[in-house]
Amino acid sequence: MKMTAYRQDALRCALHLQAGPCKAAVVAKAVGVSRAAVQMRDDHYGWFERVARGIYQLTPKGQAALLEHAEMAQVLTKAQT
């Protein structure tokens, strides 16, 4: 399955946000995506929603993306550990 690095990074952020809203800086550090805050702010895929300054959560579209890209999410999760 091919996926751009940008989408993979967005998916990494989405995986972290499954647990609930989180500060962008915490997401960036946890998943190793230095541009996580920019990516979630720009929200090109409609996966992220700002709930407070610097704090993001998944949208229903983001939750659906985790299901849609479950195979890649599994690969990314294994690569991170």
Confidence of residue 80 (pLDDT cuts 50, 70, 90): low
Q: What is the pLDDT of residues 19-50, one digit of tens each?
A: 999 999 999 999 999 999 999 999 999 999 99
Instruction: Tell me how far apart the alpha carbons of residues 62 and 40 are, in angstroms, rounded to a whole number.
Output: 11
- Is the pLDDT at 8 greater than 90? The verdict is yes
Confidence of residue 81 (pLDDT cuts 50, 70, 90): low
**Structural domain containing residue 72:** 5-76
Beta-carbon contacts of 50 under 8 Å, excluding residues fewer than 6 positions away, are 40, 41, 56
- Give me the CATH number covering residue 70: 1.10.10
Q: Is 59 part of a structural domain of the chain?
A: yes
Q: What percent of the chain has pLDDT over 70?
A: 95
**Number of domains, the chain:** 1
